[in-house]
Amino acid sequence: MNFIKKSPWILHYDGSSCNGCDIEVLACLTPLYDVERFGVINTGNPKHADILLITGSVNEQNIPVVKQLYEQMAEPRVVVAVGICAATGGIFSECYNVVGGADKVLPVDVYVPGCAARPEAVIDGVMRALAILEEKQKTARCKKGTQEGAGV
Amino acid sequence: MIALEILAIIILTPLVGGLLTGADRVISARMQGRKGPPVLQPFYDVFKLFQKESIEVNTMHRFYVYISIIFVIFTVIIVLLGGDVLLAVFALTLGSIFFVLGGYASNSPYSLIGSERELLQMMSYEPMLLLASLGLYYVNNSFYIKDIISGDTPAILFLPGIFAGFVFILTFKLRKSPVDLSMSHHGHQEIVKGITTEYSGKDLAIIEITHWYETVLVLAFVYIFFAVKDPVSHVWAVLACVVVYFLEILVDNGSARVKWQLALKSSWIVTGIVGAVNLVVISLFR
């Protein structure tokens, strides 16, 4: 039985967003959308998180921060880029300090479009990420199995 | 026979504790106008954590969590088999101390703050725990829970003050707001996740299961105050546990986190007034 789909814990990081997407992400926690129905918890700790939600584009200043957050997360993990800025840099893509979307630094699994992304879209993105998370866990287990087999 | 009983306690206690935590999350959500997670959500969380990678900060860091759960299980076995209250209180303290050491071992600033706050919380609730066991001894002339729950009159009739003080410090032990300083179940930001900050995977799951054991343990203490020889009183005792747990959830959702100074002061004042006065009064009437 795979429980990772039933209890996704999310780490939310604001790259250089205008805060529009961040407010929509937090709106998911409100009584109207209540993502805790799906077992989602908004953690502030990468070591507890399964899903990294990135809003806003990545800039020169926060590349090491984003990388470190991702590295501190326990396997299996997925990255969801929320909003058009996290996907491509969006309206900020021409700025002198902006590198581009989150995929310039991290392996992004799901892109949630929108400016700002609506809470429904964010929830849908997270649910799609869960399918990928499950897949990753399966392949990680297979790898572990073959390694142990080779060891014998 | 006793081995079977111990095995049943080890297996069934976390089941009950997990269900209580799940009910807590649903009730909390309803109080906030949300639908909330399924009742089995704590089990999903723990099983998921078991399937995840455990990041190792250093070897001792993980070791302390496992030692801590062993002492807590030991305490639960003592209490549920009707053993010595005083021994249970001391074993529980040892379990908490190992948990604090785990926080110190990680060397992370958030964990260090969490450990210090956990120590402050222990300073807040320990005096009352000891007073409660002394009070139970005064009433029944025995530290053994087996003797206490087979008396003629429930301990609550003699110890209303100590019971009130005990319910007050339950908030610390159940890690409920306003005194969830060291490790909160809400918010989930670094400083309120305290000691657990550096734990992940299996170790975090063990911490959660330890908390389930502790939840059942403190409710068992509430039970002791009400249960007597008469079998009907055991129904009342279970009802009292449910009411106390509901009150804790209500307080949890209705209050903001306080500073540690106020938490420590208020618990010592409550212990000093209701606990000590109660002890003095029953010693006068004996």
Give B191's pLDDT tier (boundaries 50, 70, 90): confident
Whether B285 maps to a domain, the answer reads no
Whether B242 maps to a domain, the answer reads yes
Helices (H), chain B: 2-31, 41-51, 59-80, 85-106, 109-140, 145-148, 160-173, 190-193, 201-226, 231-254, 260-270, 276-285
What is the predicted pLDDT for the residue at A1?
Answer: 66
Which CATH number goes with the domain that contains A81?
3.40.50.12280
Contact list, A42 vs chain B (CB under 8 Å): 188
Listed residue (A118, A114, A119, A130) closest to A38, CA to CA:
A130
Is A74 in Cβ contact with B188 (below 8 Å)? Answer: no
Whether B118 maps to a domain, the answer reads yes
Whether A3 maps to a domain, the answer reads no
Give A146's pLDDT tier (boundaries 50, 70, 90): low
For A21, the enclosing helix (H) or strand (E) is helix A20-27
What is the predicted pLDDT for the residue at B121?
Answer: 92
Is A75 in Cβ contact with B52 (below 8 Å)? Answer: yes
End-to-end CA distance of chain B: 39
Listed residue (B51, B241, B160, B240) closest to A76, CA to CA:
B51
- Residue A96's domain comprises 9-151
Mutant choice from A10, A36, A43, A71 vs B, greatest count of B C-beta within 10 A: A36
Give A142's pLDDT tier (boundaries 50, 70, 90): confident
Whether B284 maps to a domain, the answer reads no
How far does Cα B248 stand from its chain's mean position? 12
Q: What is the mean pLDDT of residues A81-95?
A: 90
- Residue B72's domain comprises 2-279
Give A152's pLDDT tier (boundaries 50, 70, 90): very low
CB distance B193 to B183 below 8 Å: yes
Whether A129 maps to a domain, the answer reads yes
Whether A24 maps to a domain, the answer reads yes
Q: What is the mean pLDDT of residues B78-90?
A: 92
Is A37 in Cβ contact with B35 (below 8 Å)? Answer: yes
Is B53 in Cβ contact with A31 (below 8 Å)? Answer: no
Whether A69 maps to a domain, the answer reads yes
Q: What is the mean pLDDT of residues B169-196?
A: 83
Whether A65 maps to a domain, the answer reads yes
Q: Above pLDDT 70, what percent of chain A?
A: 93
**Total count of domains within chain B:** 1
Whether A13 maps to a domain, the answer reads yes
Which tens digits make up the pLDDT trace of B236-252? 999 999 999 999 999 99
A140 vs B190, higher pLDDT: A140
What is the predicted pLDDT for the residue at A53?
Answer: 92
What is the predicted pLDDT for the residue at A147?
Answer: 59
Listed residue (A99, A1, A97) closest to A54, CA to CA:
A99
What's the sign of the alpha-carbon dihedral B177, B190, B216, B123? negative
Give B81's pLDDT tier (boundaries 50, 70, 90): very high
Which tens digits make up the pLDDT trace of A98-136? 988 888 899 999 999 998 899 999 999 999 999 999 888
Whether B286 maps to a domain, the answer reads no
Mean pLDDT estimate for chain B? 90
Check residue B186 and report its DSSP letter: S
State the ipTM, two decimals.
Answer: 0.89
Check residue A62 and report its DSSP letter: T
Whether B112 maps to a domain, the answer reads yes
pTM of the model: 0.92
**Residue A112 β-bridge partners:** A82
The angle at the Cα of A17, spanning A15 to A20, to the nearest 5 degrees, equals: 140
Which tens digits make up the pLDDT trace of B135-179? 999 888 889 999 888 888 888 889 999 999 999 999 999 988 888
**Total count of domains within chain A:** 1
